[in-house]
Structure 1
Amino acid sequence: MRFPANFRFAVRTLAKSPSFALIAVVSLALGIGANTAMFSYVDEVLLRPLPVPDSGRVVEVDSTSPDTRLGRLSYADYVDLRDRTKTLQALACYDFFFAGIASQVNQVPKYSLDASVSGNFFSGLRIQPVLGRGFRTDEDTVAGRDLVAVISHHMWDRDFARDRSVLGRRIRVNGSDFTVIGVAPENFTGPQAYVNPDIYIPMHAYQQAVPGASADYLTSRKSRSAVLLGRLKPGVSVTEAQSELRTIARGLAAQYPEANRDRTVTVLDYVRARFENSPTDAALSLTLLGITGLVLLIACANVANLLLGRGTARAKEIAIRMAIGA
């Protein structure tokens, strides 16, 4: 076996030139490390699908108007689209808000990012809580009646040490008490990358969680704050869903011209929506990824040049070794 002998020779050779080995290792480490970090970021922000079952069928529905390329919809418009669509298995919505959260009655509130979601958010996206349950649709029908909450897995771990008796406990959200009914799965950190809500509450509980919120938050068609996520029915394409929803949107524009004139909707695959909603961020991220790729290429070229130089320096030695059969 020549491998052990070759390995020992390689080790001795590197030991004679530690600076060469150090420069080669550091060059490759910097290039590979930068690429790994940048690709992980781009993957998380732009490429990774929503961590839900059959995520390839999840789409985002955005509002489009002469003044807005892609924007949010009003909750009232969401309800009409949800109730009239035949191409989507489910259409859910969400919005983010900030609140002071106290996991115990006498605890000083912690400022956190949270989410108000439609009653079918968990069921429609097929998100199965690890503990308890998600919302029922009837818990998102009457404003202020059902003060229930699903907490994130991170909050369950951080504030409750994964205590399974957390169900039924009350947490205070900006002074209002909400009852915990479920814990989100660990792999679901929120509907958007790097935006990780601590708690989820029904949309109809928003005014209790956010004192001073507009009284017509859920009824005004000019209050556009809802982000819509849908799940395509089997065999239905994004184009077909968009055609149907645009037909519904035209009807809403005719029915409510003051709020919806010249407004339609655009349906996008969830991953594509990330690029379309933040084209500047996407372009910057891909540019940085290309730059780090160039850094790796330069690192490889440097190591190749070092090896060529080393080979040239050892040409006489190699010739002698070949002559004597070593």
Structure 2
Amino acid sequence: MHAITIPEPGGPEALVWAEVPDPEPGEGEVLVDVAAAGVNRADLLQRQGRYDPPPGTSPYPGLECAGRVAAVGSGVSGWAVGDEVCALLAGGGYAEKVAVPSGQLLPVPKGVDLVTAAGLPEVTCTVWSNVFMVAHLRPGETLLVHGGSSGIGTMAIQLAKAVGARVAVTAGSSQKLARCAELGADILIDYREQDFVEELRTATDGRGADVILDIIGAGYLRDNVRALAVNGRLAVIGLQGGTKGELNLAALLAKRAAVTATSLRGRPASEKAAIVAAVREHVWPLLDDGRVRPVLDRTLPVRDAPQAHRVLEESGHVGKVILTV
């Protein structure tokens, strides 16, 4: 088969379409003929040599894909050759074929085409596991989403609104904020022009956010704690603003608040399967009936993966960027 490889870490030009050995499905795995793969910021880090795949997994980038089942390994039930699926991966999505643990497969939702479905597994699993399984967002609470126009952000807005929460977002332009408003965001904050803590406090009568979903990390740590409501929960899922920050424990104690940090890629297959099962139970019905919809910025051929990475680095996109195979 062919796949996007990374012979040497570097810029987007480090991504090379090359012939590589075909994967073989092991016990409990399914082989998928890939139709499309989602592009995520973790892929950029892998390309730069800063985020290696877990041991024993595919060396090629791509944390989610969609396609058709080509073969089923021993011990697999519930899936058959020809099924249209999307999948959460530890790597290998930028390729013609990928082997996937069967617990990380999802059916393509009703009304969603196969290419668009490639952008669903990573965002739905990230948002559901952090906002709902860890931070336990409840109806009537306020969720603050940093990067509201990103793939993660556009899904978080919709899922929070679906359960009856109020949503605040930060984004870097009026155009991006307008898109967030179309998806249901209630509080719109331009982080380039406004202090998100003060804007949030004003909009919530001084209460703050019950849950914050943060892609920035160290750069926002202090202000995120300031922005939390009493009993608030901060979920850190990205490090775009650095890895080391100062945490004011006194402020955290005063609010009886919590800070968590999680990632998906390195989790054991059993944990990923539990998250995928929860997403299928709670999120897939919302997609099936159209209450939640994937937001797609653009599609590019997989050979144009370098251009897809440039799009993410420039941060002008809204929603997901997809590579078609």
TM-score by length of 2: 0.25
Highest relative contact order (Cα 8 Å, sep 6+), 1 or 2? 1
TM-score by length of 1: 0.25
Q: Which has the higher strand share?
A: 2
Q: Which has the higher helix share?
A: 1
